[in-house]
Structure 1
């Protein structure tokens, strides 16, 4: 019932957005702004420009976002099918970030007082949302997860979520069909204050230090998921113009 209510909530927002005019400040090109975000040319920004809040909302709730994510998933799967893998005893890993790569926070960001990232980040309010454990799946990613597993890859989730959210995250993932994985890596208290890029680089290094893993694919919604050391043979970025994490 929670899932049905969630989708009804999103459907209501979509209907509202479809009735609103699709325009933005003519002095500020929001399409170019989003392109700069996705190509990592726009960095260290804190909120979506007010001129682009409506634009980002329409994009995230509309057809194009789903089409774009599916394109990423298709490219990732096509690579996975033909990835050049040495013949040795190492286990081939496929890494996924969690928030807005696998589990969508769109219902949270669609709230009027959050405005698709147009307001400053509220850690207290976001923590309440995470504790609910009702995130829907990011479109197209569950199918990619199943396909790369069918090719023999082992799945590792590396998330910036706190270790305290392990139970609720595990339940949320399994309820959506993400049923098995090699590891679910969550942030420990010792990782506090570490940037996302450094934290994820460290966790990838720890995996490889064991000597029996190889990182082949890596999917994330932030560039901090996909840059630095040991990112894998190929990386794939899911679009997310709602926030930036360094």
Structure 2
């Protein structure tokens, strides 16, 4: 009898240990819903945490999530999420700003995936599944064929028509100026106060440092920066802080 009790106890302990070892949320979902559903859940969680700036400094999208990111970035949901962000900008503008009319009210826009879409480039380069190749990306930029993001094109002109000066602050290099200007004008952007691009002195600075220094210079010149719209967290980080920031979705790459 005692021997049987020992065997039963040993078997029970083994079962409990196995259950604990296997207690993994992903394993549970695979058993209930299958691998496909679990992968979709994982990849959507990864994308959301990129947008929350919890996942940082990634060089490539996880290989198993490339198709998920592709579907999102080319979906109506991406457009709806972007449009929702723009609606929040408009709501803020409706009551935020006591414009002085002295030419010192300012707004900042990023360029890539804020005013212009790079999705045509990433369609050919794995939607973030390949490590970003600067030479290849700049060669594409020189074609000046990036389409406008319609939601920000409309917002750009609405803000400009309020008498607010618009500054474009991009991580693109100074050597791309003529191509960038041609592209912006071709798709409907015009009338900005200045286009800030990275010069030789900015080559080894982090994007967030470079952009913060541009804001610092503008504030020193007396500008009131009412807001910044961008698709990267590096557009907002550092001092001085703008009064409001608005992040557009982009989980294809991360620029710090």
TM bucket normalised to smaller: 0.7 to 0.9
**What is the distance in 1 between the residues matched to 2:40 and 2:151?**
34
Structure 2 unaligned residues grouped into runs of 5+: 1-35
- Report whether the alignment pairs 1:104 with 2:117: yes
- Report whether the alignment pairs 1:135 with 2:146: yes
TM-score (normalised: structure 2):
0.82
SS at match of 1:200: helix
Structure 1 unaligned residues grouped into runs of 5+: 1-22
Shift of 1:139: 3.6
How is 1:54-93 mapped onto 2 (pairs within 5 angstroms)? 54-85=67-98, 87=100, 89=102, 91-93=104-106
* Cα shift readout 1:77-128 (whole Å, capped 9, x = no counterpart): 11112114375846111100011111111100011xx110011111111111
Aligned counterpart in structure 2 of residue 230 of structure 1, from 221, 234, 240: 240
Pair 151,81 (structure 1): closer, same or farther in 2 beyond 3 Å:
farther
Shift of 1:27: 8.4
The answer for the alignment partner of 2:211 in structure 1 is 200
CA RMSD of aligned residues (A): 1.6
Shift of 1:152: 1.9
Q: Say which one has the larger Rg.
A: 2
The answer for the alignment partner of 2:197 in structure 1 is 186
Q: Hey, which of these two has a bigger chunk of helix by percent?
A: 2
SS at match of 1:186: strand
TM-score (normalised: structure 1):
0.86
Shift of 1:164: 1.1
Shift of 1:25: 5.8
Q: How many equivalent pairs are there?
A: 221
Pair 43,147 (structure 1): closer, same or farther in 2 beyond 3 Å:
same
